[in-house]
Structure 1
Amino acid sequence: MKNALTRFYALLCALSALSMVATFVVVMLGIIGRETDWFNLRGLDAYAGYSIAAALFLALPETLRRGDHIRVTLLLQRLPERARRLMEFWCLGAGVALALYLAWYACRLVWVSMSTHDISPSSDATPMWIPQIAMALGCIGLAVALAQALFSHLRGDEFYQPISGEAAHVE
Protein backbone atom coordinates (compact mmCIF):
# COMPACT_ATOMS: atom_id res chain seq x y z
CA MET A 1 0.00 0.00 0.00
CA LYS A 2 2.84 2.36 0.87
CA ASN A 3 4.43 1.85 -2.56
CA ALA A 4 1.12 2.52 -4.32
CA LEU A 5 0.68 5.76 -2.38
CA THR A 6 4.25 6.80 -3.13
CA ARG A 7 3.59 6.22 -6.84
CA PHE A 8 0.33 8.20 -6.57
CA TYR A 9 2.18 11.14 -4.99
CA ALA A 10 4.90 10.90 -7.67
CA LEU A 11 2.24 10.89 -10.42
CA LEU A 12 0.64 14.03 -8.97
CA CYS A 13 4.09 15.63 -8.73
CA ALA A 14 4.79 14.78 -12.38
CA LEU A 15 1.45 16.33 -13.36
CA SER A 16 2.46 19.37 -11.33
CA ALA A 17 5.73 19.63 -13.26
CA LEU A 18 3.79 19.28 -16.51
CA SER A 19 1.53 22.12 -15.36
CA MET A 20 4.58 24.30 -14.74
CA VAL A 21 5.82 23.59 -18.26
CA ALA A 22 2.34 24.39 -19.60
CA THR A 23 2.44 27.70 -17.73
CA PHE A 24 5.76 28.54 -19.36
CA VAL A 25 4.50 27.61 -22.83
CA VAL A 26 1.28 29.60 -22.44
CA VAL A 27 3.07 32.69 -21.16
CA MET A 28 5.64 32.48 -23.97
CA LEU A 29 2.89 32.10 -26.56
CA GLY A 30 1.23 35.21 -25.17
CA ILE A 31 4.45 37.21 -25.29
CA ILE A 32 5.35 36.06 -28.80
CA GLY A 33 1.82 36.71 -30.03
CA ARG A 34 1.76 40.25 -28.63
CA GLU A 35 5.24 41.16 -29.81
CA THR A 36 4.88 39.88 -33.36
CA ASP A 37 1.18 40.55 -33.97
CA TRP A 38 1.30 37.16 -35.60
CA PHE A 39 -1.61 35.66 -33.68
CA ASN A 40 -3.94 36.59 -30.87
CA LEU A 41 -5.12 33.67 -28.79
CA ARG A 42 -7.87 34.65 -26.40
CA GLY A 43 -7.75 33.45 -22.81
CA LEU A 44 -4.04 32.76 -22.52
CA ASP A 45 -3.89 34.61 -19.19
CA ALA A 46 -6.67 32.42 -17.83
CA TYR A 47 -4.89 29.26 -18.99
CA ALA A 48 -1.67 30.40 -17.32
CA GLY A 49 -3.63 30.90 -14.10
CA TYR A 50 -5.22 27.45 -14.37
CA SER A 51 -1.80 25.88 -14.92
CA ILE A 52 -0.26 27.69 -11.94
CA ALA A 53 -3.12 26.61 -9.68
CA ALA A 54 -2.81 23.01 -10.94
CA ALA A 55 0.93 23.02 -10.28
CA LEU A 56 0.41 24.27 -6.75
CA PHE A 57 -2.33 21.84 -5.73
CA LEU A 58 -0.92 18.76 -7.46
CA ALA A 59 2.45 19.17 -5.71
CA LEU A 60 0.98 19.27 -2.18
CA PRO A 61 1.20 15.53 -1.31
CA GLU A 62 4.73 14.99 -2.60
CA THR A 63 5.89 18.18 -0.90
CA LEU A 64 4.51 16.88 2.40
CA ARG A 65 6.16 13.48 1.87
CA ARG A 66 9.52 15.15 1.30
CA GLY A 67 9.13 17.22 4.46
CA ASP A 68 9.16 20.53 2.61
CA HIS A 69 5.95 21.98 4.04
CA ILE A 70 6.58 24.74 6.53
CA ARG A 71 6.56 23.37 10.07
CA VAL A 72 7.12 25.40 13.17
CA THR A 73 9.49 23.22 15.16
CA LEU A 74 10.63 25.86 17.64
CA LEU A 75 8.11 24.67 20.24
CA LEU A 76 8.35 20.98 19.35
CA GLN A 77 12.12 20.89 19.82
CA ARG A 78 11.79 22.13 23.39
CA LEU A 79 9.11 19.66 24.50
CA PRO A 80 9.84 16.37 26.23
CA GLU A 81 9.57 13.31 23.98
CA ARG A 82 6.08 12.24 25.13
CA ALA A 83 4.64 15.76 24.87
CA ARG A 84 6.25 16.21 21.45
CA ARG A 85 4.68 12.99 20.15
CA LEU A 86 1.27 14.02 21.49
CA MET A 87 1.58 17.47 19.92
CA GLU A 88 2.60 15.97 16.58
CA PHE A 89 -0.34 13.54 16.79
CA TRP A 90 -2.72 16.43 17.46
CA CYS A 91 -1.26 18.50 14.59
CA LEU A 92 -1.46 15.61 12.13
CA GLY A 93 -5.02 14.81 13.24
CA ALA A 94 -6.07 18.43 12.77
CA GLY A 95 -4.29 18.47 9.40
CA VAL A 96 -6.17 15.36 8.25
CA ALA A 97 -9.50 16.87 9.33
CA LEU A 98 -8.80 20.16 7.54
CA ALA A 99 -7.50 18.42 4.41
CA LEU A 100 -10.56 16.16 4.27
CA TYR A 101 -12.79 19.21 4.62
CA LEU A 102 -10.90 20.97 1.82
CA ALA A 103 -10.98 17.87 -0.41
CA TRP A 104 -14.72 17.43 0.13
CA TYR A 105 -15.49 20.99 -0.87
CA ALA A 106 -13.05 20.92 -3.80
CA CYS A 107 -14.80 17.81 -5.16
CA ARG A 108 -18.17 19.40 -4.46
CA LEU A 109 -17.06 22.51 -6.37
CA VAL A 110 -16.16 20.36 -9.40
CA TRP A 111 -19.54 18.64 -9.23
CA VAL A 112 -21.49 21.89 -8.90
CA SER A 113 -19.52 23.50 -11.74
CA MET A 114 -20.17 20.51 -13.96
CA SER A 115 -23.85 20.21 -13.14
CA THR A 116 -24.54 23.95 -13.56
CA HIS A 117 -22.41 24.25 -16.72
CA ASP A 118 -20.32 26.98 -15.11
CA ILE A 119 -17.88 28.60 -17.53
CA SER A 120 -14.96 30.94 -17.04
CA PRO A 121 -15.90 34.63 -16.94
CA SER A 122 -12.83 35.51 -19.00
CA SER A 123 -12.68 35.42 -22.78
CA ASP A 124 -11.69 31.73 -22.94
CA ALA A 125 -15.14 30.44 -21.80
CA THR A 126 -13.63 27.23 -20.45
CA PRO A 127 -15.95 24.95 -18.47
CA MET A 128 -14.74 25.54 -14.91
CA TRP A 129 -14.87 21.92 -13.83
CA ILE A 130 -11.92 21.10 -16.08
CA PRO A 131 -9.29 23.23 -14.28
CA GLN A 132 -10.94 22.51 -10.92
CA ILE A 133 -10.21 18.79 -11.28
CA ALA A 134 -6.52 19.44 -10.61
CA MET A 135 -7.39 21.30 -7.41
CA ALA A 136 -9.64 18.46 -6.24
CA LEU A 137 -6.99 15.82 -7.04
CA GLY A 138 -4.34 17.76 -5.15
CA CYS A 139 -6.62 18.18 -2.13
CA ILE A 140 -7.47 14.47 -2.12
CA GLY A 141 -3.77 13.65 -2.38
CA LEU A 142 -2.95 15.97 0.52
CA ALA A 143 -5.65 14.39 2.70
CA VAL A 144 -4.36 10.90 1.90
CA ALA A 145 -0.76 11.94 2.55
CA LEU A 146 -1.64 13.51 5.90
CA ALA A 147 -3.61 10.39 6.88
CA GLN A 148 -0.62 8.25 5.92
CA ALA A 149 1.65 10.53 7.98
CA LEU A 150 -0.71 10.19 10.95
CA PHE A 151 -0.77 6.39 10.74
CA SER A 152 3.01 6.31 10.32
CA HIS A 153 3.35 8.49 13.41
CA LEU A 154 1.08 6.15 15.39
CA ARG A 155 3.17 3.13 14.33
CA GLY A 156 6.39 4.95 15.19
CA ASP A 157 7.57 4.95 11.55
CA GLU A 158 9.01 7.93 9.73
CA PHE A 159 6.75 9.34 7.01
CA TYR A 160 8.88 12.22 5.78
CA GLN A 161 11.46 11.32 3.14
CA PRO A 162 13.82 14.30 2.77
CA ILE A 163 15.82 14.27 -0.46
CA SER A 164 19.08 15.11 1.29
CA GLY A 165 20.34 14.27 4.76
CA GLU A 166 19.87 17.81 5.99
CA ALA A 167 16.71 19.31 7.42
CA ALA A 168 14.37 21.08 5.07
CA HIS A 169 15.30 24.70 4.43
CA VAL A 170 11.83 25.89 5.37
CA GLU A 171 12.06 25.00 9.07
Structure 2
Amino acid sequence: MPGVIRRGLDALYGAGAAIAALALLGIFLVMMGQVGLRFLGVQFPGADDISAYLCVATTFFALALTFKRGELIRVGLLLERLSPGPRRVMEIVALILAAIGSAYAVWWTADDVIFSWQIEDLAQGPLPIPLWIPKLAMPVGAGILLIAVLDELATVLRGERPSYVIAAEERAARGNFTAEV
Protein backbone atom coordinates (compact mmCIF):
# COMPACT_ATOMS: atom_id res chain seq x y z
CA MET A 1 0.00 0.00 0.00
CA PRO A 2 1.42 3.44 -0.85
CA GLY A 3 3.01 5.13 2.14
CA VAL A 4 0.74 8.18 2.09
CA ILE A 5 -2.41 6.04 2.27
CA ARG A 6 -0.92 3.81 4.97
CA ARG A 7 0.08 6.84 7.07
CA GLY A 8 -3.37 8.36 6.56
CA LEU A 9 -5.16 5.20 7.64
CA ASP A 10 -2.89 4.76 10.65
CA ALA A 11 -3.50 8.42 11.56
CA LEU A 12 -7.26 7.82 11.31
CA TYR A 13 -7.05 4.82 13.65
CA GLY A 14 -4.81 6.80 16.01
CA ALA A 15 -7.20 9.76 15.96
CA GLY A 16 -10.08 7.46 16.87
CA ALA A 17 -8.05 6.08 19.78
CA ALA A 18 -7.10 9.61 20.86
CA ILE A 19 -10.77 10.63 20.91
CA ALA A 20 -11.52 7.48 22.94
CA ALA A 21 -8.76 8.42 25.39
CA LEU A 22 -10.14 11.95 25.72
CA ALA A 23 -13.62 10.55 26.33
CA LEU A 24 -12.19 8.27 29.02
CA LEU A 25 -10.45 11.25 30.58
CA GLY A 26 -13.79 13.06 30.41
CA ILE A 27 -15.44 10.24 32.35
CA PHE A 28 -12.75 10.52 35.00
CA LEU A 29 -13.13 14.31 35.25
CA VAL A 30 -16.93 14.11 35.48
CA MET A 31 -16.72 11.45 38.18
CA MET A 32 -14.10 13.37 40.17
CA GLY A 33 -16.15 16.55 39.80
CA GLN A 34 -19.19 14.70 41.03
CA VAL A 35 -17.29 13.36 44.05
CA GLY A 36 -15.85 16.78 44.84
CA LEU A 37 -19.21 18.49 44.59
CA ARG A 38 -20.81 15.88 46.87
CA PHE A 39 -18.40 16.93 49.62
CA LEU A 40 -19.73 20.46 49.18
CA GLY A 41 -23.33 19.24 49.23
CA VAL A 42 -23.88 20.25 45.61
CA GLN A 43 -25.38 18.10 42.87
CA PHE A 44 -23.74 17.71 39.44
CA PRO A 45 -26.81 17.61 37.18
CA GLY A 46 -26.48 15.20 34.30
CA ALA A 47 -23.19 13.66 35.46
CA ASP A 48 -24.51 10.13 34.95
CA ASP A 49 -25.81 10.95 31.48
CA ILE A 50 -22.56 12.64 30.44
CA SER A 51 -20.55 9.69 31.74
CA ALA A 52 -22.75 7.28 29.78
CA TYR A 53 -22.35 9.29 26.57
CA LEU A 54 -18.59 9.42 27.05
CA CYS A 55 -18.52 5.67 27.74
CA VAL A 56 -20.17 5.02 24.38
CA ALA A 57 -17.66 7.34 22.67
CA THR A 58 -14.77 5.59 24.41
CA THR A 59 -15.99 2.22 23.22
CA PHE A 60 -16.77 3.06 19.61
CA PHE A 61 -13.77 5.28 18.89
CA ALA A 62 -11.35 2.68 20.29
CA LEU A 63 -12.66 -0.18 18.13
CA ALA A 64 -10.51 0.31 15.01
CA LEU A 65 -7.11 0.58 16.67
CA THR A 66 -8.00 -2.21 19.08
CA PHE A 67 -8.89 -4.39 16.08
CA LYS A 68 -5.71 -3.49 14.19
CA ARG A 69 -3.60 -4.37 17.24
CA GLY A 70 -5.28 -7.75 17.59
CA GLU A 71 -6.79 -6.91 20.94
CA LEU A 72 -10.46 -7.42 20.09
CA ILE A 73 -12.00 -10.76 20.92
CA ARG A 74 -11.24 -13.03 18.01
CA VAL A 75 -11.83 -16.74 17.65
CA GLY A 76 -8.48 -17.87 16.30
CA LEU A 77 -8.60 -21.37 17.72
CA LEU A 78 -9.74 -22.89 14.43
CA LEU A 79 -7.77 -20.55 12.15
CA GLU A 80 -4.49 -21.16 13.96
CA ARG A 81 -4.76 -24.90 13.33
CA LEU A 82 -5.26 -24.58 9.57
CA SER A 83 -2.50 -24.78 6.99
CA PRO A 84 -1.62 -21.49 5.23
CA GLY A 85 -3.94 -21.92 2.19
CA PRO A 86 -7.16 -22.74 4.03
CA ARG A 87 -6.24 -20.29 6.77
CA ARG A 88 -6.02 -17.46 4.24
CA VAL A 89 -9.41 -18.41 2.78
CA MET A 90 -11.02 -18.54 6.22
CA GLU A 91 -9.34 -15.25 7.18
CA ILE A 92 -10.88 -13.66 4.07
CA VAL A 93 -14.30 -15.11 4.93
CA ALA A 94 -14.00 -13.86 8.53
CA LEU A 95 -12.99 -10.38 7.36
CA ILE A 96 -15.84 -10.25 4.85
CA LEU A 97 -18.28 -11.19 7.62
CA ALA A 98 -16.70 -8.58 9.91
CA ALA A 99 -17.03 -5.97 7.16
CA ILE A 100 -20.70 -6.84 6.67
CA GLY A 101 -21.32 -6.64 10.42
CA SER A 102 -19.46 -3.35 10.70
CA ALA A 103 -21.27 -1.88 7.69
CA TYR A 104 -24.58 -2.89 9.22
CA ALA A 105 -23.59 -1.24 12.51
CA VAL A 106 -22.69 1.96 10.63
CA TRP A 107 -25.98 1.94 8.73
CA TRP A 108 -28.15 1.14 11.74
CA THR A 109 -26.49 3.63 14.11
CA ALA A 110 -26.43 6.36 11.44
CA ASP A 111 -30.13 5.77 10.87
CA ASP A 112 -30.70 6.12 14.61
CA VAL A 113 -28.73 9.40 14.69
CA ILE A 114 -30.75 10.77 11.76
CA PHE A 115 -34.02 9.71 13.38
CA SER A 116 -33.03 11.34 16.68
CA TRP A 117 -32.18 14.52 14.82
CA GLN A 118 -35.43 14.49 12.82
CA ILE A 119 -37.67 14.10 15.85
CA GLU A 120 -35.52 16.47 17.93
CA ASP A 121 -35.05 13.77 20.56
CA LEU A 122 -33.77 15.19 23.86
CA ALA A 123 -32.23 13.43 26.86
CA GLN A 124 -34.76 12.94 29.62
CA GLY A 125 -32.29 13.76 32.41
CA PRO A 126 -31.52 17.13 33.98
CA LEU A 127 -29.60 18.24 30.87
CA PRO A 128 -31.81 18.30 27.76
CA ILE A 129 -29.01 17.34 25.36
CA PRO A 130 -30.09 16.62 21.79
CA LEU A 131 -29.46 12.87 21.64
CA TRP A 132 -28.17 12.86 18.07
CA ILE A 133 -24.99 14.53 19.34
CA PRO A 134 -23.77 11.78 21.71
CA LYS A 135 -25.20 9.11 19.40
CA LEU A 136 -22.96 10.39 16.58
CA ALA A 137 -20.01 8.57 18.19
CA MET A 138 -21.55 5.23 17.23
CA PRO A 139 -21.67 5.51 13.41
CA VAL A 140 -18.41 7.44 13.26
CA GLY A 141 -16.57 4.92 15.44
CA ALA A 142 -18.16 1.97 13.64
CA GLY A 143 -17.24 3.62 10.33
CA ILE A 144 -13.60 3.82 11.35
CA LEU A 145 -13.79 0.15 12.36
CA LEU A 146 -15.28 -0.69 8.94
CA ILE A 147 -12.36 1.07 7.25
CA ALA A 148 -9.92 -0.90 9.44
CA VAL A 149 -11.62 -4.20 8.56
CA LEU A 150 -11.54 -3.37 4.85
CA ASP A 151 -7.89 -2.35 5.25
CA GLU A 152 -7.10 -5.78 6.71
CA LEU A 153 -9.17 -7.52 4.03
CA ALA A 154 -7.15 -5.74 1.34
CA THR A 155 -3.95 -6.79 3.13
CA VAL A 156 -4.98 -10.46 3.20
CA LEU A 157 -6.19 -10.34 -0.42
CA ARG A 158 -2.71 -9.06 -1.40
CA GLY A 159 -1.28 -12.20 0.21
CA GLU A 160 0.14 -10.42 3.24
CA ARG A 161 -0.42 -11.27 6.89
CA PRO A 162 -2.99 -9.23 8.80
CA SER A 163 -1.61 -6.69 11.24
CA TYR A 164 -3.67 -8.13 14.11
CA VAL A 165 -1.95 -11.50 13.66
CA ILE A 166 1.47 -9.88 13.53
CA ALA A 167 0.69 -7.80 16.62
CA ALA A 168 -0.51 -10.87 18.55
CA GLU A 169 2.62 -12.81 17.58
CA GLU A 170 4.84 -9.92 18.67
CA ARG A 171 3.08 -9.77 22.04
CA ALA A 172 3.45 -13.53 22.47
CA ALA A 173 7.15 -13.33 21.58
CA ARG A 174 7.58 -10.80 24.41
CA GLY A 175 5.75 -13.17 26.76
CA ASN A 176 2.66 -10.96 26.92
CA PHE A 177 -0.44 -13.13 26.65
CA THR A 178 -2.89 -10.67 28.21
CA ALA A 179 -4.86 -10.11 25.01
CA GLU A 180 -5.10 -13.84 24.36
CA VAL A 181 -7.12 -14.61 27.49
| TM-score normalized by the length of structure 1 | 0.93
Unaligned 5+ segments in structure 2 are none
The aligned counterpart of 2:23 is: 19
State yes or no: 1:66 paired with 2:69. yes
**Uncovered stretches (5+) of structure 1, i.e. residues with no partner:** none
CA shift for structure 1 position 145: 0.6
- Is 1:165 paired with 2:174? no
Moved more, 138-147 or 67-76: 67-76
The one-letter amino acid of 2:146's match is A
Tell me how many residue pairs correspond in the alignment.
170
| In structure 2, distance between residues paired with 1:83 and 1:163 | 20
Q: 2:6 aligns with which of 2, 5, 12?
A: 2
Q: Does 1:102 align with 2:105?
A: yes
TM-score normalized by the length of structure 2: 0.88
Distance in 1 (alpha carbons) for counterparts of 2:21 and 2:70 = 18
Decide whether the 8 Å contact of 1:148 with 1:159 is kept in 2: no
Which of 124, 129, 135 is the equivalent residue of 2:127? 124
Return the offset for 1:163.
8.6
Given residue 8 of structure 2, which amino acid in structure 1 is its aligned partner?
A: A
**Residue of structure 1 equivalent to 2:142:** 139
Give me the identity figure in percent: 31
1:28 aligned to which of 29, 32, 40: 32
Does 1:77 find its partner at 2:80? yes
Residue 151 of structure 1: aligned partner: 154
In the alignment, residue 73 of structure 1 is paired with which amino acid?
Answer: G
